[in-house]
């Protein structure tokens, strides 16, 4: 259950559906720290544009931290314990990341969320993520927690069928979306990023998505 007083204490938050909400500004006060961690992580594991199964270069650049990392290549999408480029484990989830993910999930009614993967997306102007379901995780009882940082974007929130026309929600630096329960398999995506400048992120939008993969 969503905390009953939540929508009274934060007017910028909206319920997206059952077990799904967009928490306006939830991570804003730690936004700069989160971006600093992203830069530290990317010094160790550079962002890269992976290939889709069909051989297309993704417009979004990605890197992973946590016990498992999400990868895409000619053999498809999956989570791995080792970075295929280095043969080494992914960097650990920073405690600040873990704490944020657990707190956000809790607000939407998912207690003790313990993600084992964090995919970090980096969007430059024009980059987009087409409508998809997050379906590479074995544990579908856990929610997805998604943190927006830097430039604003349009978050597309569809239905359980790809044909449902998505609702467009603008997401800003520090907004956190959580979806689980009967909303866990909703199609979602990000519209092509508009050019802009953000004081903490420059010409980029970053997104952290926390998942429990197994």
Q: Residues marked as binding for Fe cation?
A: 132, 134, 188
- Tell me which long-range contacts 97-102 makes (C-beta under 8 A, separation of at least 24): 97/34, 97/37, 97/65, 97/208, 97/210, 100/27, 100/30, 100/34, 100/147, 100/176, 101/145, 101/147, 101/210
The total of other beta-carbon atoms located within 10 Å of residue 168's CB is: 10
198 binds ligand SIN (CB under 6 A): no
List 45, 91, 209, 213, residue binding ligand SIN (CB under 6 A): 209
Closest C-alpha to 25, from 208, 149, 122: 149
List 134, 142, 171, 190, residue binding Fe ion (CB under 5 A): 134
- Residue 121 binds which entry of ligand SIN, Fe ion, none, CB below 5-8 Å type-dependent: ligand SIN
Write down the least CB distance from residue 148 to ligand SIN, Å: 6
188 binds ligand SIN (CB under 6 A): yes
CB nearer ligand SIN, residue 113 or residue 155:
155
Distance CA 191, CA 188 (A): 10
183 binds ligand SIN (CB under 6 A): no
Write down the least CB distance from residue 188 to Fe ion, Å: 6
Distance CA 128, CA 139 (A): 26
Residue 142 contacts residue 180 (beta carbons within 8 Å): yes
Closest C-alpha to 198, from 160, 163, 172: 172
The two tokens of residue 126 are 């024009």
Q: Applying CB under 5 A, which part among 28-36, 37-45, 80-88, 133-141 lies near Fe ion?
A: 133-141
116 binds Fe ion (CB under 5 A): no
Which residues are annotated binding-site positions?
70, 77-79, 121-123, 132, 134, 136, 162, 188, 205-211
- List contacts with ligand SIN (CB under 6 A): 121, 129, 146, 148, 155, 188, 190, 207, 209
């Amino acid at each position: 259950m969503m905390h009953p007083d939540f929508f009274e204490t934060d007017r910028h938050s909206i319920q997206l559906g059952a077990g799904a909400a967009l928490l306006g500004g939830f991570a804003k006060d730690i936004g700069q720290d989160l971006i600093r961690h992203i830069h530290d992580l990317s010094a160790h594991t550079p962002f890269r544009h992976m290939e889709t199964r069909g051989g297309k270069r993704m417009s979004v650049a990605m890197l992973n931290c946590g016990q498992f990392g999400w990868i895409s290549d000619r053999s498809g999408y999956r989570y791995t314990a080792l970075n295929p480029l280095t043969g080494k484990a992914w960097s650990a989830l920073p405690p600040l990341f873990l704490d944020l993910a657990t707190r956000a999930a809790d607000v939407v009614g998912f207690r003790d969320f313990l993600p084992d993967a964090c995919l970090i997306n980096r969007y430059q102007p024009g980059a987009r993520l087409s409508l998809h379901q997050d379906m590479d995780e074995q544990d579908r009882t856990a929610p997805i927690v998604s943190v927006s940082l830097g430039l604003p974007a349009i978050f597309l929130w569809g239905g359980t069928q790809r044909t449902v026309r998505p609702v467009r929600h603008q997401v800003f630096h520090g907004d956190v979306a959580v979806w689980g329960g009967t909303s866990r398999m909703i199609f979602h995506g990000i519209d092509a990023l508009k050019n802009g400048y953000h004081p903490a992120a420059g010409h980029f939008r970053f997104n952290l998505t926390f998942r429990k993969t197994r």
